[in-house]
Amino acid sequence: MNDVTPEKLVIVTGLSGAGKSYVQSTLEDLGFYAADNLPVSLIEPFLDEVVGRERKDKIAIVMDVRAHDFARTFPAYFTRVLRARAPNAILIFLDARDEVLVRRFSETRRPHPYVVDLPILDAIGAERRELIDVKAIANMVLDTSQFSVHELKAEITRRFQLPGYVMPMLVNVVTFGFKYAVPPNVDLMFDVRFLPNPHFVEGLRPKTGKDAEVVAFLESHGEYGEFLERLASFLEYVVPRYEREMKSYLTIGVGCTGGKHRSVAVGERLGTSLAESGYLVEITHRDMAR
């Protein structure tokens, strides 16, 4: 049965912590039959079984350095063997900056799967060096450093969506403090430092823009409500036009001095308004806990 060829074959690999599991689940949502951590020697028997017997024609295989001798054997196998069988095969390599990977492992409290007895940065470096040749042959290298989970799924969906399937645009509202630097990759940015600052009001300093007392303080000043009305009107005009241009995700930044009071209150109000208008919304308060 070694002549059976899937209509679409996507191989997903890359650094641990870069998002392979999220890409796999997204491809499954798009109708791909997916397998995780398949050894190189089992790829063709797997295709024979799934394509030849089960008649699946969209296949995704997730592979990484956990598979024996993967980094050494896969580049030649992919270019000489797999491409001969499935000329349209696509290799996706997921990458991310070292500091982002360190943070992700810290948040999940998982050990690094490649070298568990090394400090995390050393393990990341060792895996990165091991995968140099694999990365070099990839059709698509995605740096996921700036992607949220939803943004990564939106990007994969945009590239591999099925005919007639429309992925709704994700609107990511990011609040931040200018004193901690402007976040990268922001499409629209609003500076709300002109609003009265709750930081200087006794009793409000330890609270955040999610607390009712802070919101009430802002609402007691007329420019807050007027600004929200004008901002809502502006976004009502521009956001559908970003969607019309098939943008997968739109990032809106709202900044104040410290990212704890004014930007958070405005971001919450903005995210709620956009969600009520039918958009898929994610709100991130980057500096609120500082």
Tell me what the mean pLDDT of segment 45-52 comes to: 90
Structural domain includes residue 3? no
- Looking at 129, 160, 191, the residue that finishes a domain is 160
Q: Check whether residue 125 and residue 176 sit in a common domain.
A: no
* Same domain flag for 142 and 36: yes
pLDDT confidence tier of residue 1, bands split at 50, 70 and 90: very low
Q: What is the pLDDT of residue 246?
A: 64
Residues 252 and 191 in one domain: yes
Last residue of a domain, one of 160, 186, 207: 160
Tell me: pLDDT of 121 over 50.
yes
* Residue 22 and residue 135 share a domain: yes
Instruction: Note whether residue 165 is domain-resident.
Output: no
Strands (E) located in the chain: 8-14, 33-36, 58-62, 90-95, 140-143, 170-177, 188-191, 249-256, 280-285
Going from the C-alpha of 230 to that of each of 42, 132, 176, 283, the distances in angstroms are 59, 50, 21, 20
Residues 30 and 144 in one domain: yes
Q: Degrees (nearest 5) of the Cα angle 61, 64, 68?
A: 105
pTM for the model stands at 0.59
| pLDDT of res. 278 | 87
108 and 244 share one domain: no
Q: Are residues 134 and 269 both part of a single domain?
A: no
Say if residue 51 is in the same domain as residue 153.
Answer: yes
Same domain flag for 144 and 46: yes
* Of residues 248 and 37, more confidently modeled: 37
Cα separation, 79 vs 93, in Å, equals: 15
Residue 163: per-residue pLDDT: 53
How many domains does the chain contain in total? 2
2 lies in some domain: no
Residue 255 lies in a domain: yes
Of 110, 131, 160, which residue constitutes the final position of a domain? 160
How would DSSP label each residue in 113-151? SS-TTS-HHHHHHHHHHHTHHHHHT-SEEEE-TT--HHH
Q: Which of 32-36, 108-112, 241-245, 286-290 has the lowest mean pLDDT?
A: 108-112
Same domain, 17 and 140: yes
Q: Which domain holds residue 34?
A: 8-160
Answer yes or no: do 112 and 208 share one domain. no
The average confidence (pLDDT) of the chain is 89
